[in-house]
Amino acid sequence: MRDLPSPTRPTRTVHLAGREIIAPGDGHRFWSDLHHKALTIRWPAFFAAAAAVFLVFNLVFATLYSLGDDPIANVAPGSFAGLYYFSIETLATVGYGDMHPRTDWGHVVATVEIFTGMSLMAVMTGLVFTRFSRPRARFVFTRHPVVTLHDGVATLMVRLANARGNSIAGATAKLWLVRNEVSLEGAPLRRFHELRLQREENPTFMLSWTLFHAIDAASPLHGHAAEDLAAIEATIIATVAGVDENTAQALNARHAWGHGDIRWHHRFADILLTGDDGRVVLDYRCFHDVVPEEAPDESGAAACARGGGRITPS
């Protein structure tokens, strides 16, 4: 692999299945996608940025007021703090009435600030509404895919759950293998291969769902062992989509596992139990647990009965 040149443009870092991918000079700049950044940063950072913008704008307008000759009534001469507080009242369109413009310069600056304040308020309202209203899936993906025998065929399995417990209508899932390859011309590339699922649709995804990919002769995983996947730096990616029946919003989720996350010759611990009263219990405390495929069938249920940690959305 050739050495990376010193980037002259901003460098973007992407994390995928535990791998850190650096993209120097991809042309991405802060101001080029400000709306997306405002929607994706965490809430504390969002409000901190909004507060910083608010304070800076008031500082700018207080400075503009100070350029005039006593433009604001009831502000002590030379009091920058008084002008700053007046700017806050004006930008927020509050107007307590104690301070008001009394010169043409003061009225001009106040007019510009009022327009700016209304525009900022509209932008903030839209951003906050969008952040609150955009759909978020609470799907949980098991930490480790497993490869074990299923109906006599080696099968890759991935388990997922709906942490909300509501009904997801028309849920669909896809599984992909991403691996390093070399073209016929000798060029290295990273290629996606779809892993066909035995059942890729779930009409009412409410609790848990296990995806099965049979590693038969048609599978891109056929003939590969753990060391082979390590050599080609394989990554398994699962995508899930559906519609929340409560809000009628489309939900999408994605999760990736590196080749080292796969547990060969293991199966998922059984989370389907029978309670003392005869009712069926779906115990999520062992959702992420795997056991050797030669272990007795009841070992998974017994492990869950001993207790474990709660699952949390990934």
Residues 181-233: tens digit of each pLDDT? 998 898 999 999 999 999 999 988 988 899 999 999 999 999 999 999 999 99
Q: List C-alpha distances in Å: 139 to 132, 240, 310.
A: 18, 9, 14
Mean pLDDT of 47-66: 95
- Which tokens hold the place of 284? 């999520």
Count Cβ neighbours within 10 Å for each residue of 165-188 and write b for 16 or more, e otherwise.
Answer: eebbeebebbbbbbbeeeeeeeee
Distance between alpha carbon 120 and the CA centroid of its chain, in Å? 27
- Count the neighbouring beta carbons within 10 Å of the beta carbon of residue 92: 15
Q: DSSP letter at 93?
A: T
Banded model confidence at residue 286, pLDDT cuts 50, 70, 90 = confident
Q: Please, what's the b/e burial string for 103-115 (b: 16 or more CB within 10 A of its CB; e: otherwise)?
A: eebbeebbeebee
Specify the DSSP class assigned to residue 108: H
Average pLDDT over residues 262-268: 94
3-state secondary structure of 270: coil
Instruction: Map out the domains of the chain with their CATH numbers.
Output: 41-133 (1.10.287.70), 139-265 (2.60.40.1400)
Check: CB of residue 105 under 8 Å from CB of residue 116: no
Q: Looking at residues 85-105, what average pLDDT do you find?
A: 90
Residue with tokens 């497993």: 146
Predicted local distance difference test score (pLDDT) of residue 37:
85
Which run of H or E residues covers position 210?
Answer: strand 208-214
| Cα–Cα dist 293/14, whole Å | 35
DSSP letter, residue 247: T
Q: Provide the percentage of residues in the chain whose pLDDT is more than 70.
A: 84
**In terms of pLDDT, which residue wins out, 309 or 180?**
180
Chain-centre distance for alpha carbon 298: 36
Give start and end residues of each alpha helix (H) in 134-161: none
pLDDT tens digits along 221-254: 999 999 999 999 999 999 999 998 888 889 999 9
Residues facing residue 72 across a β-bridge: 101
Which range is least confidently modeled, 23-37, 135-149, 211-225, 295-309? 295-309
